[in-house]
Amino acid sequence: MRRTALYSSAGPKRPAPAPKAAPQASGRATAAAPRWARLAALRRLSPNDPRLLWTAMALLALALAVCVALLLSRAPRVLTQKDITAAVLKTLEENLLPSAAARAYETILPSVVRVMAYTRGKDDDDDPSMGVGTGVVIVDKGVILTNLHVIQGAHTIKVVFADGLESTASVISTQPENDLAVLQAHKIPDDLAAATLRSTADLLPGDQVLAVGFPFGIGPSASAGVVSGLKRTFRSPEGGQDMGNLIQFDAAANPGNSGGPLVTMDGEVVGIVTAILNPTRMRTFLGIGFAVPIENAAAAFGVPPF
């Protein structure tokens, strides 16, 4: 009886390949050996072989150098004073900053008003103009400081605010000894801004000041100068009285500037322009103007600010 053949899952046994003959030792043959052969030789090194230690140290040094290079490339650059100075100079070259006088003008302008006085005419629709002066808002409810000689004898007073709003006004207080008057506007802008008043206690000759007003009705106009002196006395040709404790300044002022603010470079009011000295009949500016200190001017309203 024939048996069914049994099949093994293992494949047939193959004879082991005969060992290859070792190549003959020669310098040329060793140099031409493939790189994989050298790497295989390194894998066969003993853990105590010094060549393995030197190889590991070389790889570690290489990895450390790569890490340091990456860290240095990502580290933020430290700014030096030279870098900062160069940046500031470049900014100043590309963006011109406004002058101190321009900043002062911008600060005080919303509080400056044109003051117009009229005498009684033959009819209500014909009031002759007495001229134009200047005023400055000292309370945001429409309280305005100006010169007494600007509105003295007027039948009607009108003021024009910085935004163009025109309103009639009435006199609520006067201070003849300092040629000052306080007006109350009957209608005011919603966002009316009052000027900031500053004591003259620390004001010195040589300090820069700005006079803002409507010279000859033109304006608002600004003129810059310095404080020329303090505690000056001047005899007003309009009122005929002597006024003392005045600020002398050399910023250009002409008829129409009367009642306007004299301000510092911060835009803060230190005086009210009231007169110019001109011994001729021309009544034009010769370099000497006078302003009433704001302490006296604010007292005309009954509330000294300092």
Where exactly are the structural domains of the chain?
103-185, 208-299
Q: Evaluate whether 114 touches 132 at the Cβ level (below 8 Å).
A: yes
| Residues of the chain where predicted confidence (pLDDT) is lower than 70 | 1-53, 68, 71-77, 123-125, 237-240, 303-306
According to the model, what pLDDT value does residue 60 have?
A: 77
Which class does domain 208-299 fall in? mainly beta
DSSP 280: S
Residue 6 has φ and ψ, to the nearest 5°, of: -105, 135
Task: Give the active site residues.
Answer: 149, 179, 258
- Map tokens 């008043």 to a residue: 197
Write out pLDDT tens, residues 210-238.
Answer: 999 999 999 899 999 999 999 999 887 65
First to last CA, the chain: 138
Q: Which two tokens stand for residue 36?
A: 């994989």
Q: Which CATH number fits domain 103-185: 3.30.360.10, 2.40.50.100, 2.40.10.10, 2.40.30.170?
A: 2.40.10.10
C-beta of residue 258 within 8 angstroms of C-beta of residue 245: no
Q: What's the DSSP call for residue 13?
A: P
pTM score, two decimals? 0.69
Beta strand residue intervals within 236-288, DSSP E: 242-249, 261-263, 269-276
Predicted local distance difference test score (pLDDT) of residue 6: 40
208-299 has the same fold as 103-185? yes
Task: Give residue 290's pLDDT.
Answer: 96
The CA distance from 48 to 46, in Å, is 5
H helix or E strand, kind and range, residue 123: none
Lookup result for tokens 């006024």:
243
